Amino acid sequence: MISGGGTGGHIYPAIAIAHAWKEKFPESEILFVGAEGKMEMEKVPEAGFAIEGLPVAGLQRSLTLKNLSFPFKLLASLNKSKRLVQSFKPDAVVGVGGYASGPLLYVAQRKGIPSLLQEQNSYAGLTNKILAKNANAICVAYPEMEKFFPLSKIHFTGNPVRKDILSLEGKKEKALEHFGLVSDKPVMLVLGGSLGARTINNAMVASIRHFEEKGYQVLWQTGRIYYMEMQDHLEKAELSHIRGLEFIKEMDLAYATADVIVSRAGALAVSELSLVGKPVIFIPSPNVAEDHQTKNAMACVKQKAAFILKDDEAEERLATQVDELMDNLELRKKLGANIQKLGKPKAAQEIISVLESIIK
């Protein structure tokens, strides 16, 4: 059983682990457990796996009436988790973070079922920190995670990513056709996560005229929250080279066609972009625990593997930084080669090996 979710940063590693396990043990059964109404309830079935939803919800940090229902939802989720574990009888459970993983992992650990946690970030999430004490193994993507977890349980595996992005060779022509792009103009890929990033979207609005005049083709994932608003900007501007997309499902094709990538610096984004090997401008979100996105991005910048723009500088400086990369092929090649050295393409297989060992 694999549990967790809430964001793509939790869901896609979970799906990658499931695919790697199924590849090695095709006869085995896998059941996902997520939070009702969250994106895992859609993305997991799309990937070909069964999922059950729990009524669990996160505890709001601010004083709000929503918190009054928290204990009732938690109790209902624990009871449903007990029923699921009893009926499915898993040989092991995997928690990928997010509050959705809490009830199932807690129940499984109490029953003595082997459990593995996968922590994507350089700053451990609250749910994983709580579950770590009774976990058999903890797979991490960053060094120095012993400040959060017992050192004896830590395995430095990296973050598993979607299999389709591990090989982009020969996909550019198909990618150009898929997105309706031409081969003689440079392509800029802009990513703010599945929900979207306000700062990146505002920076794009401030710069879209400039990008159009420069002749850049832009694939812009606006995110679900901001899609309609950004579409209004694009329609008013009447641009021919800039495409606003709510969500890009075919990420391998998007990466294959990109000459320059602009992205937040969440753990999964950094892990994927390290394997893609393209020049990146990271704009870390300041609204995360311990500013871990800046730490993720700086790990690349220190290796001369990426550019970084502070959140409050993005609107003013994005166009200049993109131009600097678009105008310098050698710099693009250097950044792409350096970031690729940081990638861990076998992360999913290493996690499967750890999972096997705790079952045995």
17-52 confidence digits (pLDDT tens): 999 999 999 999 999 999 999 999 999 999 999 999
Whether pLDDT at 78 is above 70: yes
- Supply the pLDDT for residue 62: 58
User: In the chain, what percentage of residues exceed pLDDT 70?
Assistant: 96
Detail the residues annotated as belonging to a binding site.
7-9, 121, 162, 194, 248, 293
79-97 confidence digits (pLDDT tens): 999 999 999 999 999 999 9
Q: How confident is the model at residue 252 (pLDDT cuts 50, 70, 90)?
A: very high
Do 118 and 247 sit in the same domain of this protein?
no
Do 57 and 129 sit in the same domain of this protein?
yes
Do 109 and 205 sit in the same domain of this protein?
no
What's 267's domain CATH number?
3.40.50.2000
- Supply the pLDDT for residue 65: 63
Detail the residues annotated as belonging to a binding site for UDP-N-acetyl-alpha-D-glucosamine.
7-9, 121, 162, 194, 248, 293
8 A C-beta contact, residue 273 and residue 339: yes
187-234 confidence digits (pLDDT tens): 999 998 777 899 999 999 999 999 999 999 999 999 989 999 999 989
CA dist 63 → 98, 126, 161 (Å): 21, 19, 36
- Supply the pLDDT for residue 6: 83
Do 132 and 231 sit in the same domain of this protein?
no
Alpha-helical segments (H) within the chain = 8-24, 40-46, 70-88, 101-110, 126-131, 172-179, 198-214, 227-237, 251-257, 267-276, 292-301, 314-326, 329-340, 347-359
Do 235 and 204 sit in the same domain of this protein?
yes
Do 176 and 293 sit in the same domain of this protein?
yes
What's the number of domains the chain is made of? 2
Sheet with 242-245: strands ordered across: 242-245, 217-221, 187-191, 260-263, 280-282, 307-308
- Supply the pLDDT for residue 60: 55
- Supply the pLDDT for residue 104: 97
Q: What's the CA gap between 217 and 183, in Å, rounded?
A: 10
Q: What's the CA gap between 30 and 21, in Å, rounded?
A: 9
Do 30 and 143 sit in the same domain of this protein?
yes
Do 236 and 183 sit in the same domain of this protein?
yes
Do 232 and 306 sit in the same domain of this protein?
yes
253-301 confidence digits (pLDDT tens): 999 999 999 999 999 899 999 999 999 999 999 988 778 899 899 989 9
User: Which of the two residues, 357 and 100, has the higher pLDDT score?
Assistant: 357
103-126 confidence digits (pLDDT tens): 999 999 999 999 999 999 888 988
Do 184 and 154 sit in the same domain of this protein?
no
199 lies in which domain range? 167-340
Do 133 and 155 sit in the same domain of this protein?
yes
Return the structure tokens found at 13.
Answer: 């590693």
Do 268 and 154 sit in the same domain of this protein?
no
